[in-house]
Structure 1
Amino acid sequence: MDTLTRPRPLAVRRHGRLALLGTGLAVLLLLGSAVHLTQGTANLDALDVLRLVFGRGTGGSAAVVVESRLPRLLAALIVGAALGVAGAVLQTVSRNVLASPDTLAVNAGAHLAVTAVAAFGVSLPLLGATGVAFAGGLAAAAVVLGLAGTSGTGIVRLVLAGTAIALALISVTQVLLLLYSQETRGLFAWGEGSLEQNGLGGIRTLGPLVGVAVAALLVLARRLDLIHLGEDHARTLGVHIGRVRFTAIALAVLLAAAAVTLAGPIGFVGLAAPALARLLTSVVPGLHRHAALIPFSAALGAALLLGADVLLRTIIGSQHALEVPTGVVTTLLGAVFLVLLARTARITAATAEPPAAGVRSGVSVFRYRAVLTVLTLAVIGVALGAVLLGDMKLLLGDIVNWSTGQAGPIVSGVLDTRVPRVAAALLAGAALALGGALVQAVARNPLAEPGMIGVVGGAGLGAVAVITGVSGVGFWALTGSAGLGAALAMAVVFAAAARGGFTSERLVLIGFGVHAASQALVTLLITLSDPWNETKALTWLGGSTYGRTFTHLVPMALALLLVAPVLIRMRTELDLLALDDETPRVLGVPVARSRLLLLSCAVLLTGAAVAGIGVLTFVGLVAPHAARAIVGGRHSRLLPTAALLGALLVCVADTAGRTVLAPGQLPAGLMTAIIGAPYFVWLLYRHRSKTR
């Protein structure tokens, strides 16, 4: 008899802990909702809200609560629940704890789709906008999952693929925001996620849609349990893996699209809420089953978003909270959570072989010199073409006359502005390419680059802080702030990675969190400053050479001149550091000191480039990879080849941005992202194929 009744206390304890957790979350949501209703610009306190609940409120207080505060509260609950469930399901079907609407680029795809509809003046009802967001998010998620796989082993590959696709989509979105500024007014801040609502219309339309999608996922809960345990086990029990996975992804993307349509892209809620729920499974038995995991992820998502909105309005006040997107707070909190998760996660220390390594490992000296000669001639040819092309076409004779002081005033005016721009593009490309090569070698990760580990984001944050905070800021102050921001970002990333066990995978994950946090802070600074700063900061963040003079070239030229002798002297140490920690230590190389010196060089190059031309992405990734594919992995050959390729890439991107829509212009950074993203996608695809 005792044997038969022994399991019962375990079941009672399991259900008791689930009930206790559910009760705690319910109480937390009720208290948070009560506090949320008392926050706002109108003079309403808790007693006024209570009188309204019991039917004793005045008409004015009822209008404020029903038309303003209640829609914002319901939006926070619905959007948080939708993102929490979407993240939980995406983590299950990809078998990856870092999968979410953010890391799968669902938010970026949906944001681009909605922005494109607004830019081109297409009028759609709310459900039509949800359908557009759903299509954009689903396409982005399909690409990312296709690159990262669903085996559960590609954590870093998932983050890198999602980041690359998101950067490309965000770049296209920024192009639309710049070209169609009137049609897309307000969508920049909305791009970080805003809970501000215009009545209950959106809630009434999308609330039932979210409820139906969550109910459909609960029907699939048992099948999702089996898939999470293992595909072979699920297949033997009659589960159609492909059909269930496609249905679950479609429903999760639909939830994310509904959230984007209602409140814009809210960052990291879809990552943090299900991750917290899975962490609680060790103390709450039964929470791992999707019948419990899905509703608890929804409750945690709602609590996180509601808490972030309450915290925002408590710190900066209700009036300023109308301007600051709630997604900024969730992104900052989520970035901290991601850094902590990356430090404690079990990540292999194995070094991944560069996708292009070994392709040209045996290049002869003659062939290497031929490559350098061809690249040098190509850079010279592209630079000449960039000087000649633009809104006004010039001839070679005009350049000769200008250089000898015999050109007319019109030609002189054009060349006085165009030549510094071309030189800035060449120097910035070379600096970023060298910085990317150094980061890849020191981090021993061929998919890392200054932009993806937070350095470029830190430099951008430092520069935007000065642009928005100081009126008429000088160039050298901007340069110093960008360099300081890059140095601080690098210090945070490497300090956090070193304390958690310095592996390249952990470095990339922490860098992604720092990058996301810096982007959120940039949005916060822009939205809190003068509205005219939005276009100025967006143009600068896009990596524009507009208005550059020869003075702006000095930091980049000095950085290259200072770093070049160090790299020439340490080319052998770079080869050894790219292998492992033990080999250089055995051969007498001071690993810690060499790594710090090389990373300082990378920070100096990146900060100078960002100060000189703005934020550029993918240059530090694409140029070293292409160089490695052409001349091999020896840094004595890799570094000069990468510098020439980086200069070539940025110069081509800048020229295309100046000429394609002349007299209109697109920032060079947006063009490099659009050009570099497909190459990076191909690298990831090739890397996955080699792994298979």
Structure 2
Amino acid sequence: MTTLQSAPSATDAAAPAARKATLFAALAAGLVLVAVLAAIHVTQGSSSVNVVDLWNVITGNGDDQAAAVLVASRVPRLLAGLLVGVSLGVAGIVMQTVARNILASPDTLAVNAGAYLAVVAVTAFGISVPLLTGSLIAFLGGLAAAALVLGLAAGGGGNGNGAGTVRLVLAGSAIALAFSALTTMLLLLFAEETTGLFAWGAGTLGQTSLDGVAQLGPVVLATVLVLMLFAHKLDILALGDDTAAVLGVRVRRTQTIAIVLAVLLSASAVTVAGPIGFVGLAAPAIVRLLAVRIPGLQRHRALIPASAIMGVIVVLGADVLLRLIFGGAAGVEVPTGVVTTLFGAVFLVILARKLTDTGATGSAAAFALSSTASPRTRRLLIVGAAVLLVAVAFVSLLLGDAKLLAGDLLNWLTGQAGPVTEFVLNTRMPRVLAAILAGAALAVAGAVVQAVSRNPLAEPALLGVTGGAGVGAVLIITVAPLASFWAVTAGGLLGAVAAAVIVFGLAARGGFAQSRLILIGIGVSAAAGAIVSMLIISTDPYNGAKALTWMSGSTYGRTLPQLIPVLIAIIVATPILVGARRDLDVLAQDDDTPRILGVPLGRTRLGLLSVAVVLTATAVAAVGVIGFVGLVAPHAARALVGGRHALVLPMSALLGALLVCVADTLGRTVIAPGQLPAGLLTAVVGAPYFVWLLWRSRRTS
């Protein structure tokens, strides 16, 4: 019996050629767009040299001034944009493949934060190193951060959605916040040695010569070529560890090599231009979205060059847009990284809304701690925390740049103190009260947000509310430097409300799903941080320490009248939350139980979240931006007194007040007469605790 096989038709034969033609056309279109952006980019700047002058220079008819501008400023900035775009675009696509997570990037893996910390640390201690050595230092810092984040994110994950996604971004955000706190601490302690690094830390393409691009360009090119050789293995790796192992790929070795090369690319970009944010997230994610419509773009042999091209488009596009809107001088004053971070934050929010959420209450419960103590012991613990707070406040009044004795405090209280003692305590008492009130407000706000969202990892800082309050307050400070404290407080309140409306409004569509809520909050926080950096640098670039101190959370210079807003907020919130304590218990369970018990779900959530927003905004106005208090204090409270909010709320308030008061005391004592903002110390304490929570959930998963 003969089997007849039909000859391939002309259509079938032409299909692969058509797919290749489409792919090449898409890549060519990207290159054309890069060329157009480059042409526009090289004509922009703060000098009066225009496109005609530059053309004359290119054709050999230009004057010396135009040639100097082109060679010394325009071309180095353009080449830096090309190098950074290629580096971050390729690094992002490789990290996404290794982590099998579309939200993996140099930012979400804290690579940029680790590299930045390493560079600042070396500079702060006066160590002068060549450019390539500096790149190696940045590489080691970024590699350590990536290893830590990937280790914490492993386990209990998904396939790029739900629990796996939120775990990765949360781990990266926690490590990045801790590294940022250490970096800010170094910038404040070594202000002279690190002059200019704050603006550089936001990511700027401004170059003084071609040295950086000339030395690191070959490193980037060689790294990209090596990754192209690994393209086939990356294709197989994307199928999963088991499949890759069956097909002969050594999974761990391939993953390690890929991550090391991706971090090397990120470190090169940081060395040249500072940590330009979210390019490594947005560029590869856009390419992956295009790959659905462009045949052949799914393979890494096409994904890698496409991501490189898209990275350049994002970087140059942001720089061109920045100078088109604000003028040529904006390229000097406002870092390009601010624009890319804003763009990337919006993109993160869009991706978060599209992700399916598998991290339900059950997985969140892995983070929650519960007490086994008896009811009597729990009440005694609350009393003990209150006594401890009084003792810490007493000690805090005695310590600082001027050490006092208990008798001095007694004389001050009875009006018999000398002028020096009276001056010291008159300025120190408002600071201690500010720390206590703000700590209590932030902790209670965190406990409320966690209960309403049924997410033990939610807190005002991670959900963008604290960042929004910071934007509002800094905006008032920069627009009207002589504005009253009440105006700054109003600005902080409006900013917090705006951030809360955005975050909870976007997350409400998915029923406040755990992953979506946190990812949207992190995106809004990133955007808020970028806006604050832009406000500081564009209005007062040479006095960043003042705003840095405020954004890091400080009680310096506080007076008793400035504490009235947060005091009023606490007084008003207390009876509301006491009356809603059982509603909080019910809301923390699920959506069905409140409905069965007749609790109006939407209205109750909105009311409680409004209370949390007001508490957060007034606390930020009182002491600046302090992170992790709203996370650590409620968790510790549950570990001590259980999950009933009748006990959790007062214990959270006491522990939050203790945490900020101790941090403030240490900040103005350990390096006296110098001072460290309290928010930096709470971040240094809170970030490891947050990491431990992630590690604990990894083990239980």
TM bucket, shorter chain:
over 0.9
- Displacement of 1:349 after TM fit? 5.9
- Is the counterpart of residue 636 in structure 1 residue 646 in structure 2? yes
The 5 Å alignment of 1:296-311 reads: 296-311=306-321
Matched residue, 1:618: 628
Farther off after superposition, 251-260 or 501-510: 501-510
1:357–1:632 Cα contact (<8 Å) kept: no
- Displacement of 1:67 after TM fit? 1.6
Matched residue, 2:451: 441
Deviations 1:418-474 (A, max 9, x none): 111111111111100001111111111111110001000000111111111112221
Give the one of 31, 38, 41 matched to 2:43: 38
The 5 Å alignment of 1:402-417 reads: 402-417=412-427
> Aligned partner of 1:209: which letter?
V
Give the one of 348, 351, 364 matched to 1:353: 364
- Is the counterpart of residue 205 in structure 1 residue 215 in structure 2? yes
Matched residue, 1:68: 73
Give the one of 329, 332, 340 matched to 1:330: 340
- Displacement of 1:493 after TM fit? 0.8
1:356–1:628 Cα contact (<8 Å) kept: no
- Displacement of 1:341 after TM fit? 1.2
- Is the counterpart of residue 318 in structure 1 residue 328 in structure 2? yes
Aligned CA distance change for structure 1 residues 66 and 258 (closer, same or farther; 3 Å): same
Unpaired runs of 5+ residues, structure 1, are none
Matched residue, 2:59: 54
Matched residue, 1:266: 276
Aligned CA distance change for structure 1 residues 45 and 113 (closer, same or farther; 3 Å): same
Deviations 1:183-225 (A, max 9, x none): 1111111111000001111111011100011111111111111
Give the one of 139, 142, 148 matched to 1:143: 148
C-alpha distance in 2 between matches for 1:356 and 1:196: 44
C-alpha distance in 1 between matches for 2:582 and 2:641: 16
Give the one of 376, 386, 389 matched to 1:376: 386
- Is the counterpart of residue 475 in structure 1 residue 485 in structure 2? yes
C-alpha distance in 2 between matches for 1:391 and 1:46: 58
Matched residue, 1:426: 436
- Is the counterpart of residue 599 in structure 1 residue 609 in structure 2? yes
> Aligned partner of 1:202: which letter?
G
Deviations 1:259-318 (A, max 9, x none): 000000001100000001111111011111111101100000001100000000111111
Unpaired runs of 5+ residues, structure 2, are 1-5
Matched residues, number: 690
> Aligned partner of 1:385: which letter?
V
1:356–1:629 Cα contact (<8 Å) kept: no
- Displacement of 1:646 after TM fit? 0.5
C-alpha distance in 2 between matches for 1:302 and 1:38: 17
Give the one of 569, 579, 584 matched to 1:559: 569
Matched residue, 1:583: 593
- Is the counterpart of residue 172 in structure 1 residue 177 in structure 2? no
C-alpha distance in 1 between matches for 2:296 and 2:53: 42
Matched residue, 2:262: 252
1:452–1:511 Cα contact (<8 Å) kept: yes
Aligned CA distance change for structure 1 residues 338 and 417 (closer, same or farther; 3 Å): same
> Aligned partner of 2:253: which letter?
R
Farther off after superposition, 530-539 or 402-411: 530-539
C-alpha distance in 2 between matches for 1:315 and 1:689: 50
- Displacement of 1:531 after TM fit? 3.9
Give the one of 660, 663, 679 matched to 1:653: 663
> Aligned partner of 2:681: which letter?
M
- Displacement of 1:509 after TM fit? 0.6
- Is the counterpart of residue 29 in structure 1 residue 6 in structure 2? no
1:460–1:541 Cα contact (<8 Å) kept: yes
- Displacement of 1:487 after TM fit? 0.6
Farther off after superposition, 97-106 or 346-355: 346-355
C-alpha distance in 2 between matches for 1:604 and 1:533: 30
Matched residue, 1:14: 19
C-alpha distance in 2 between matches for 1:508 and 1:408: 52
Matched residue, 2:691: 681
- Displacement of 1:350 after TM fit? 1.7
C-alpha distance in 2 between matches for 1:260 and 1:606: 34
- Is the counterpart of residue 89 in structure 1 residue 94 in structure 2? yes
> Aligned partner of 1:96: which letter?
N
- Displacement of 1:17 after TM fit? 1.6
Deviations 1:506-552 (A, max 9, x none): 11111111100111110111111134542211111111111111112
Deviations 1:483-508 (A, max 9, x none): 11111100111111223553121111
Farther off after superposition, 55-64 or 617-626: 55-64
2:33–2:313 Cα contact (<8 Å) kept: yes
- Displacement of 1:240 after TM fit? 0.9
> Aligned partner of 1:442: which letter?
V
C-alpha distance in 1 between matches for 2:355 and 2:553: 35
The 5 Å alignment of 1:211-230 reads: 211-230=221-240
Q: Secondary structure at the match of 2:365?
A: coil
Matched residue, 1:547: 557
**Cα root mean square deviation, aligned:** 1.4
C-alpha distance in 2 between matches for 1:268 and 1:81: 13
- Displacement of 1:124 after TM fit? 0.3
C-alpha distance in 1 between matches for 2:573 and 2:429: 24
> Aligned partner of 1:67: which letter?
A
The 5 Å alignment of 1:88-167 reads: 88-149=93-154, 151=157, 152=159, 153-167=163-177
Matched residue, 2:3: none
> Aligned partner of 1:560: which letter?
I
C-alpha distance in 1 between matches for 2:433 and 2:166: 36
Aligned CA distance change for structure 1 residues 166 and 349 (closer, same or farther; 3 Å): closer
- Displacement of 1:348 after TM fit? 2.7
> Aligned partner of 2:426: which letter?
D
1:344–1:500 Cα contact (<8 Å) kept: no
- Displacement of 1:338 after TM fit? 1.1
2:369–2:635 Cα contact (<8 Å) kept: no
Q: Percent identity?
A: 57
- Displacement of 1:115 after TM fit? 0.8
C-alpha distance in 1 between matches for 2:51 and 2:556: 53
C-alpha distance in 2 between matches for 1:589 and 1:492: 25
Q: Secondary structure at the match of 2:512?
A: coil
Matched residue, 1:457: 467
Farther off after superposition, 666-675 or 41-50: 41-50
Aligned CA distance change for structure 1 residues 598 and 18 (closer, same or farther; 3 Å): same
Deviations 1:134-162 (A, max 9, x none): 01111111111111117545111111111
Q: Secondary structure at the match of 2:599?
A: coil
C-alpha distance in 1 between matches for 2:246 and 2:623: 58
Q: Secondary structure at the match of 1:229?
A: coil
2:367–2:696 Cα contact (<8 Å) kept: no
Matched residue, 1:538: 548
Q: Secondary structure at the match of 1:19?
A: helix
2:199–2:541 Cα contact (<8 Å) kept: no
